Structure 1
């Protein structure tokens, strides 16, 4: 019997649906079912009655559920206490593609910050903080996300976005108004949900034109192919372009307004671990508005950092 199996038991008991529980736990449905069966074998009792239409707790499952919750709570408390006794709590941090360059030096004195290896989109990382898979995440969020997920956010950084256009002479490249740009919107909501929300609001607010794609080329080499097909400069996403700009394309500054993408540090509203809260303070200390509250800057209306400037 393992603690993770007990967490699986609680998740299925909460959802009374293996599919929803698997999604919440971010594991495959067949794996969850196998783990529950293994737990039932170890305990010697059946925890759930299940058929094709429904899942319900057995009397044994209902009787063991309160003790299981209490046991998991004690395990979590033990981990927190051990972290405090060691002098530095372990803090799990997820990100999309940007992290503060001085993250380690800022947090070394207050917590052991472990950067999660799973790089995922902003909406996924925020949801992982909400469900406890991460303690912190650096991502883009909306005020709506804070309320819905039960998380808090503080500004950590911002990227001023630019456009990429055809034309190989980079010595005298004119600026371009936001209304004269194209904005790519991808049909893949799993990867690009946050970007699509941002891009659609930018287009609505400035008059930029949206271009729907379905090949995931918001960034990467295929992005340049879209730039070549579009007649207008194309907004570059904040996810970063690892491929060098081809010689037949140029970078153009966007003005009137200047679009910014914010990076927020996100943590749970009910977070009480001293190490996590100390890491928040250490990372956010001294971060100003990084230009996003200038008169000609633009943020989505639902960006929490747009409300303070």
Structure 2
């Protein structure tokens, strides 16, 4: 029998509780096809069919119903093992996931309260939030909506923010005019597995400001393909948080976005039911000195469902 991952077992429990792959995928914040593939892989590894499914309904097979309570008990024991190991080691170990940004002084701020292990799997915001919810991570730094927090049973505190800008054609950076948000293009990628959070953000930005959406299917929200989209566009193109520090090619320039200024927030998220002192101590250590991030109404824009949206 092939090794079975705890993550797959958590997926099994979610589908068994929802009896609907779409709702389970939303709850886990992963793509429906990916969830279906993971369940099929789990069934293959276990050698039994867990669900009967057709176009109208999903139901547990007798084998699935028999294994469900044992799976829940196994997950509870796995969580208990982690807690006991942490106590025995004499030092709290906290697993932290991220997308592409972390506080530069993370280690110095947390060293006194816990050993923070930054997870090697760099994943999109919706994936990292789901991993915190299912226990694969203790904390994550990601973009999150209020609706996500409620659905997944998470809490969040503001940790950082990026002011986004536009990239346009033109190599002379000596006197570059600002551009209104409504006069920019916003790329939306068809790959929701990788870009679900960005797509939701971009759609609302366009609806709120009048920016124009451009649908793509090549992952060009960032990277070299992004620069190619800029070269083909007649308008400046909004840069994503993943491209904030990437040097621009010499034929492209940066243009500041105004009316309104556009911000992307980074939240530290953890489980609402979290009661481990070490994890909560890391939350306090990272969030106690966030300070003024420059997000002020009425000249700043955040999505309406962003936990930090300001009135006005």
TM-score scaled by structure 1? Answer: 0.83
Choose from 32, 45, 49 the match for 2:42. Answer: 32
Aligned to 1:272: 275
Q: CA separation of 1:139/1:31 partners in 2, compared to 1, >3 Å: closer, same or farther?
A: same
> Deviation at 1:298?
0.9
Which position in structure 1 is the counterpart of 2:231? 228
Residue matched to 1:161? 164
Preserved CA contact (<8 Å) 1:219 1:241: no
Query: How many Å apart are 1:252 and its aligned residue?
Result: 0.6
- Cα separation, partners in 2 of 1:182 and 1:273, compared to 1, 3 Å: same
Tell me: CA distance 1:87–1:238, structure 2 relative to 1, closer, same or farther (3 Å). Answer: same
Contact 1:130 1:268 in 2 (8 A): yes
Contact 1:7 1:72 in 2 (8 A): no
- The match for 2:61 is 56
Match of 1:126 among 126, 129, 135: 129
Name the CA distance, whole Å, in 2 between partners of 1:6 and 1:171.
54
Partner of residue 259, structure 2: 256
Q: Matches of 1:87 and 1:239 in 2, distance apart?
A: 37
Displacement of 1:292 after TM fit? Answer: 1.0
1:185–1:212 CA contact under 8 A, matched in 2: yes
- Contact preservation (8 Å) 1:163, 1:235: yes
Task: Report how many aligned residue pairs link the two structures.
Answer: 297
Asked if the contact 1:158–1:260 (Cα under 8 Å) also holds between the matched residues in 2, the reply is yes
Deviation at 1:9?
Answer: 6.4
8 A Cα contact 1:5 1:36, kept in partner: no
**Which stretch of the first structure deviates more once superposed, 115-124 or 293-302?**
293-302
Using a 3 Å threshold, how does the CA distance of structure 1 residues 13 and 97 change in structure 2: closer, same or farther?
A: closer
Structure 1 spans left out of the alignment, 5+ residues: 38-46
CA distance in structure 2 between the aligned counterparts of 1:36 and 1:19, rounded to whole angstroms:
21
> What's the offset of the Cα at 1:288?
2.5
Alignment of structure 1 residues 112-191 onto 2, 5 Å: 112-191=115-194
Distance 1:180 1:7 in 2: 43
Once residues 256 and 120 of structure 1 are traced to their aligned partners in structure 2, the CA distance between those partners, rounded to angstroms, is 31
Which region of structure 1 is more displaced relative to structure 2, 252-261 or 236-245? 236-245
Could you say what secondary structure the match of 1:252 adopts?
strand
Alpha-carbon separation, structure 2, partners of 1:250 and 1:219: 15
Q: Distance in 1 between matches of 2:5 and 2:201?
A: 39
How far off is 1:166 after superposition? 1.0
1:92 aligns with 2:109: no
Shift of 1:141: 0.6
Pair 1:52–1:234, CA change in 2 (3 A): closer
Distance in 2 separating the partners of 1:13 and 1:308: 40
Structure possessing the higher radius of gyration over alpha carbons: 1
- Residue 100 and residue 229 in structure 1: after superposition, are their counterparts in 2 closer, same or farther (change >3 A)? same
Q: Which residue of 2 aligns with 1:81?
A: 84
Q: Which runs of 5+ in 2 are unaligned?
A: 29-33
TM-score (norm 2): 0.83
Alpha carbons 1:5, 1:35 under 8 Å: kept: no
* Residue 229 (structure 1) shift: 1.2
Q: CA deviation at 1:289?
A: 3.9
The CA deviation at 1:163 is 0.6
